[in-house]
Amino acid sequence: MNSKSRVLSAFAFEVPDRVPINYMANPGIDLRLKNHFGVGTDDREGLRQALGVDFRAVAARHTGRPLHEPVPDRRVDPLWGWHTREVEHTGGNYWDFCDFPLRDADLEQIEAWPMPSPDDFDYQTVGEQCAHYRDYAVHVGDPGLACIMNTAGFLRAMDQMFIDLATDDPAGLRLIDRFLDIQFEKTVRELEAAKGGVDFMWIGEDLGTQDGPIIGMEMFTRVIKPRHQRFIDLAKAYDLPVMIHTCGSSSWSYEEYIAMGVNAVETLQPEAAGMDPATLKSRFGGRLAFHGCISTTGPLSFGSPDDVRRQVRDTLSIMGPDGGYMLSPSHSIQNNSPLENVLAMYEEAHASGRYR
């Protein structure tokens, strides 16, 4: 099987030749892996081939001018305008959202906030990307597509975002819908340009803490569900399966997503409540495919290579039977993960994830 057929078999709950494999990492460990394999620092494709990754993303490239000016001591997203600041820690650094320029914005200010036009992207390259990756599982979107709460929180701050959802604040809801409208139209044009070269759509929403839901079912039904249904329906119009990223304890929402047409769930933090592999497989196996489960806060970061290999084998023994599983870190691998642990994860996936 090639990568495309391998991943599509997982979506169809069929048993592939080996478990499909994905990769996500922050820049620090990514660079260490590239150095280990002797690929260039900008050779994203070379590293994925070295790890045996089966997934590839395609997207239209923005060709318009930057819409937001730089700010000292900050990174400012040139298209959407959110701010991040560098935070150092013992394992390296990360960029944390800050300042929240639309926290106190009213409806008029939300309408005036610069956002990119769907016209300002080069869609011609999408078809070229699909052709280049024709042997891989090609996806449009990622965990940021159709994401409501996180994205609004980047500009509005998380506390204000939750107030917006609870009170139906017109400014907060308009911010969400402006962003989603642009994403939706861009995705439509990407799918048209792909001419059948895309294999699935990837969307996202963080729905849980470590211990339980982050919002209630009423808010999910009123705010999240109709906005996600629009993207799911778009995928179905192109006969594409849908995978959704759901951080934390999120299994409370899965029956809803099954009814909405979602085919696979992703992240799957095994340490969060109700998210261990055995529980997920027993409750949703055969109705949802699974992507993730190798925790970035467990042995991958704090154990030995043997601990990592054991977790991979244990996860495969639970999730692998009858198909429907794609092996991946639960989140981007962090700098505090020893190189030998990360290598052990992928080596064991190839060794123990071979079914035939």
What is the residue type of 356? R
- Residue 356, pLDDT score: 79
Nearest to 338 by CA among 95, 94, 92: 92
Token pair of 188 as six digits? 């439509």
Whole-number Å distance between alpha carbons of 299 and 355: 24
Question: How far, in Å, are 11, 49, 305, 323 from residue 309 at the CA level?
Answer: 25, 21, 6, 20
Q: Rounded to an integer, what is the distance from CA 11 to the centroid of its chain?
A: 16
pLDDT value, residue 94: 86
CA distance 107 to 181: 16
* 3-state class (DSSP) for residue 185: helix
Q: One digit per residue, pLDDT tens: the chain, 356 residues?
A: 999 999 999 999 999 999 999 999 999 999 999 999 999 999 999 999 999 999 999 999 999 999 999 999 999 999 999 999 999 888 778 899 999 999 999 999 999 999 999 999 999 999 999 999 999 999 999 999 999 999 999 999 999 999 999 999 999 999 999 999 999 999 999 999 999 999 999 999 999 999 999 999 999 999 999 999 999 999 999 999 999 999 999 999 999 999 999 999 999 999 999 999 999 999 999 999 999 999 999 999 999 999 999 999 999 999 999 999 999 999 999 999 999 999 999 999 999 999 97
Task: Please report the pLDDT score of residue 93 as a whole number.
Answer: 83
Tell if the pTM clears 0.85, that is, is over it.
yes
Residue 334 has what DSSP assignment?
P
Nearest to 324 by CA among 271, 270, 276, 266: 266
Residue 128 has a pLDDT of 98
What is residue 311's predicted lDDT score, i.e. its pLDDT? 98
Q: At a CB cut-off of 8 Å and minimum separation 6, what does 137 contact? A: 3, 4, 6, 7, 8, 20, 54, 55, 56, 199, 200
Identify the CA nearest to 176 among candidates 201, 147, 144: 147
Tokens of 278: 């055995």
Q: Which of these, 310, 304, 312, lies nearest to 338 by C-alpha position? A: 304
**Closest listed residue to residue 294, CA positions, set 353, 213, 206, 211:** 353
Compute the distance between CA of residue 5 and CA of residue 14 in angstroms, rounded to an integer: 10
**CB 344, CB 309: distance < 8 Å:** yes
Please count the helices (runs of H) and the strands (runs of E) in the chain.
Answer: 15, 12
Nearest CA among 290, 291, 292, 271 for reference residue 282? 290
Centre a 10 Å sphere on the Cβ of residue 271 and count the other Cβ atoms it contains: 13
Whole-angstrom Cα Rg for the chain? 20
Largest CA distance in the chain: 60
Distant-in-sequence, close-in-space partners of 216: CB < 8 Å, separation ≥ 6 = none
Main-chain dihedrals φ then ψ at residue 207, nearest 5 degrees: -120, -5
The pLDDT value recorded for residue 231 is 99
Show the tokens assigned to 17.
């030749």
Q: Measured between alpha carbons, how far apart are the two ends of the chain, in Å?
A: 11
Which tens digits make up the pLDDT trace of 331-346?
Answer: 999 999 999 999 999 9
Half-sphere exposure of 222 (CA within 13 A, CB side): 11
- The domains located in the chain, with CATH, are 3-69+105-352 (3.20.20.210)
CB count within 10 Å of CB 111 equals 12
Q: Would you give the DSSP letter of residue 193?
A: H
pLDDT at 89: 82
